[in-house]
Amino acid sequence: MGFADTASTPAVAVVNQTFARLLFHSGDAIGRYFKNRAGLTIQIVGIVADGKYLSISEDPKPAAFLPILQSRVLEQR
């Protein structure tokens, strides 16, 4: 993911390990696809470790990270 990922290129995302396990029942998600709430198909190009987003004691939650130059377009599609 980088500045080459723009509104005119295919949609991509980096997901955390929990997201990959929930969707694919394994950590082997790179190169696979998922659909967002709007029905847009997004390719997984990387996996990151689970993190804490709200509280140090929270359970891991699925998360997907989108390129900033695609995020607005992905919300509208």
Residue 15: which pLDDT band, with cuts at 50, 70 and 90?
A: very high
Each residue's pLDDT tens digit, 29-71: 999 999 988 889 999 999 999 998 888 999 999 999 999 888 7
**44, 77 contact by CB (below 8 A):** no
Full-model pTM? 0.84
**2, 66 contact by CB (below 8 A):** no
Measured at the CA of 37, the angle between CA 66 and CA 77, to 5 degrees, comes to: 70
- 22 CB neighbour count, 10 Å cutoff: 13
